[in-house]
Amino acid sequence: MPEESATPVPIHDILPPVGFFPYPVWMVVAAAIAVLAVVGFLVWFFFLRKRKSRVTTATERAMKRIDALRGQVGGAQAYPFSIEVSEVLRRYIEESQGLLATRQTTREFLDAMQGRTTYTEEQFEMLSDFLELADMIKFARMTAGPDECRRLLSAAEGLIQNATARTEEVKL
């Protein structure tokens, strides 16, 4: 038997790695930029954005203080209570009308209010009576009980509501 010649099997060189990533590089870069933009927007929207806070009106602030004082009527001493209620009304008028109501005497304040259209004549009389009663309690140390405190509080509330309604009428 003839000897078969053993032919060696040819050995091939090792091939370089085969590229397996299915997307082109530009697509990967574009997707990364889009993801970063979305993440950046979400961080800004939920954490860094300045939220617009709702601005409360002078009426809302005054009515909030009136409501807080309403709970104190029964056990309140008339002197500090009258000061507080008067302060609420004067501050409301100062903020809504631009008068220096908290820095004026009652007479100066009423003189400054005389030409304004905020109150009707009847309401102006109520304002005058309110301030007179508050002054009597504050300065003349008039003895006042819970009824006078309630009267002061309801008068202040009514004056604030009337002024707000009247101001809205004038705007229309």
Check residue 98 and give left, alpha or beta (phi > 0: left; psi -120 to 50: alpha): left
Better pLDDT: 164 or 129 = 129
* Confidence check: pLDDT of 169 > 70: no
Better pLDDT: 156 or 40 = 40
pLDDT digit string, tens, across residues 14-27: 888 877 778 888 99
CATH code of domain 58-171 = 1.20.120
Burial code of 72-99, b = ≥16 C-beta within 10 A, e = fewer? ebeebebeebbebbbebbbbbbbbbbeb
Q: Read off φ and ψ for residue 150, nearest 5 degrees.
A: -65, -40
- What pLDDT is stored for residue 37 in this prediction? 97
Taking the alpha carbons of 72, 75, 76, 78 in that order, is the dihedral positive or negative? positive
- What pLDDT is stored for residue 29 in this prediction? 95
With cut-offs at 50, 70 and 90, classify the pLDDT of residue 116.
Answer: low
Q: Which two tokens stand for residue 71?
A: 């709970």
- What pLDDT is stored for residue 39 in this prediction? 96
Amino acid at 111: D
User: Could you tell me the residue ranges of all domains in the chain?
Assistant: 23-53, 58-171
Rounded Cα distance, 131 and 140, in Å: 13
What pTM does this model have?
Answer: 0.62
- What pLDDT is stored for residue 168 in this prediction? 60
- What pLDDT is stored for residue 22 in this prediction? 82
pLDDT digit string, tens, across residues 64-112: 888 888 877 766 677 788 888 888 888 888 887 777 767 777 788 778 7
Q: Read off φ and ψ for residue 105, nearest 5 degrees.
A: -75, 165
- What pLDDT is stored for residue 48 in this prediction? 82
pLDDT digit string, tens, across residues 24-71: 889 999 999 999 999 999 998 888 877 777 777 888 888 888 888 887
